[in-house]
Structure 1
């Protein structure tokens, strides 16, 4: 039996939506953290905004009642079903149609790097959109 290869196509409309949101609301963007509180409310990185703008939510720990910083509840999933929670980078990568991160050796997609500037995000999004033929 031949091995099947999964070919992912970037979700151009979501990539552009998230980038535009960050450009329009830079005070709500913090690339260093998936989710953080700021003077202006909650700020998210590119992956965090991908989750939120797609209807997902950051999970709430049922024991401490605190918001988890790395686990999210995908849109349409029962938030009490912890077996369905996902890591923010994995879920965001899936939504964006990009290669998910490899956690074993800490490889992460360039779009999610904490050191990215807004210009870096623009460049990576443009490269992904171009690769998708958009």
Structure 2
């Protein structure tokens, strides 16, 4: 399997931001008021967050950008959209399986640190 290029700088930057601003972190939600999960912080910090996709009260999709991978897009109320997790995994250079582990809603900050360390050490999934 060919793995995407891991964006270590982005992983570390997002993690450091969350550690420094724990009140802005809630792993259970992509975006809820002023708090976000790891994936939500990733897209917000890298300037690719457009939260208000049509018909998405849960804020888990974005209106598609021309830079989004066509394989990740789908149509919602006539608009091309992408899930937060898919955009975030492309920014971070991780696979779908790695994203499922890193973005899991029950992860603690300690879990996220361990997962990042494993990714950096080369334990790719």
How many residues are matched? Answer: 113
- Aligned residue in 1 for 2:93: 97
Give the SS at the match of 2:60.
strand
2:119 is equivalent to residue 122 of structure 1? no
Superposition TM-score, scaled by structure 2 size: 0.77
Q: Contact 1:60–1:68 at 8 Å: present in 2 too?
A: no
- Aligned residue in 1 for 2:73: none
What is the CA–CA distance in structure 2 between the aligned matches of 1:55 and 1:93, rounded to whole Å?
A: 14
Q: Once the two structures are superposed, what CA deviation does each residue of 1:59-113 show, in whole Å capped at 9, x if it has no partner? A: 3245x7x865111246777xxx932x31001111111111125xxxxx9521000
- Aligned residue in 1 for 2:35: 43
Which protein is bigger by CA-based radius of gyration?
A: 1
Superposition TM-score, scaled by structure 1 size: 0.72
Aligned-residue CA RMSD in angstroms?
2.6
Equivalent positions of 1:1-134 (< 5 A) are 5-37=1-33, 42-61=34-53, 69-73=59-63, 82-83=79-80, 85-100=81-96, 109-131=100-122
